[in-house]
Amino acid sequence: MNTPTRHVTRCLVGGVVALLPIGGTVLAVAYLEVVLTESWRQQVSWYFPGLGLLLALSVIYFVGLFVTTFLGKWLWRRVDIVLEKLPILGSLYQSLKEVLGYDSKRDRFFEAVVAVSVDDGFEIGLVTGSAPGPDGEEHSVVFVPSSPNPTNGRLLLLPPDRIRTLDLRAADALRGLVSMGKTPLRSAPE
């Protein structure tokens, strides 16, 4: 049985996941706060600081609510197609989707999610390709992102015996890294 908290969380997460590839979401939220602050502060008697942020979170929640319904999913796919066809922004949008692992139609930026053997455990890594190692043998090029900011990390050239392939999508692994392990790492859907 779904509790109201679970429902709100699901819709908020769905909204963020749906808006994440657009890339301009953060800028739009900040812009909305600034515009509302400048225009409403003098005109509306009930304005309070953070109203723009609250309205932006409300918009994200309702987008999440919308894209988690059957009609919303269908319409979001149509919006996705339109966004991909935009002259300059379309290629940026496609690239973001590929890096985040949301694009199922194309080759993904990350080939696999792996566990990289370290001294006394494993680190999560993302295979970006392969290259010959110093010994002439084929090695995997593995990006090991840092947590909670996976935009930086280390790029390693590893032999096959130092990595184990995990049954995870890159988006789920990145989500787990950003949440510092609070989001469960689930197996990739078949």
Highest mean pLDDT (candidates 6-15, 45-54, 93-102, 130-139): 130-139
Domains of the chain: 4-100 (no CATH), 112-178 (2.30.30)
Q: Which carries the bigger pLDDT value, residue 109 or residue 79? A: 79
Q: Which carries the bigger pLDDT value, residue 2 or residue 65? A: 65
Give the mean model confidence (pLDDT) for residues 104-131.
81
Per-residue pLDDT of 140-157, as tens digits, reads 999 888 776 666 788 899
Res 127 pLDDT > 70: yes
Nearest to 113 by CA among 152, 146, 143, 149: 143
Supply the angle between the helices 89-100 and 170-178 in degrees, to the nearest 10.
80
Q: Order of strands, edge to edge, in the sheet holding 112-118?
A: 153-158, 138-145, 121-132, 112-118, 163-166
Which residues, 6+ apart, have CB-to-CB distance to 176 below 8 Å? 124, 183, 184, 185
Q: Whose structure tokens read 């929640």?
A: 61
For 76-133, the DSSP string reads HHHHHHHHHTSTTHHHHHHHHHHHHT--SSS--SS-EEEEEEETTEEEEEEEEEEEE-
Instruction: Give the lowest-confidence range in 7-16, 95-104, 155-164.
Output: 95-104
Q: Which carries the bigger pLDDT value, residue 1 or residue 48? A: 48
Which residues, 6+ apart, have CB-to-CB distance to 19 below 8 Å? 25, 60, 63
Res 59 pLDDT > 60: yes
Give the mean model confidence (pLDDT) for residues 153-181.
83
Nearest to 142 by CA among 116, 122, 175, 173: 116
Give the mean model confidence (pLDDT) for residues 90-109.
63
In whole angstroms, what is the distance from residue 117 CA to residue 128 CA?
A: 17
In whole angstroms, what is the distance from residue 187 CA to residue 189 CA?
A: 6
Highest mean pLDDT (candidates 9-13, 83-87, 141-145): 141-145
Query: In this predicted structure, what is the pLDDT of residue 1?
Result: 46
Which sign does the torsion angle of CA 95, 96, 99, 103 carry? Answer: negative
Query: In this predicted structure, what is the pLDDT of residue 30?
Result: 76
Contact call for residues 129 and 119 (beta carbons, < 8 A): no
Q: Please report, rounded to a whole number, the percentage of residues in the chain having pLDDT higher than 70.
A: 79
Residue 140 in 3-state DSSP?
Answer: strand
In whole angstroms, what is the distance from residue 9 CA to residue 25 CA?
A: 19
Query: In this predicted structure, what is the pLDDT of residue 65?
Result: 82
Query: In this predicted structure, what is the pLDDT of residue 114?
Result: 92
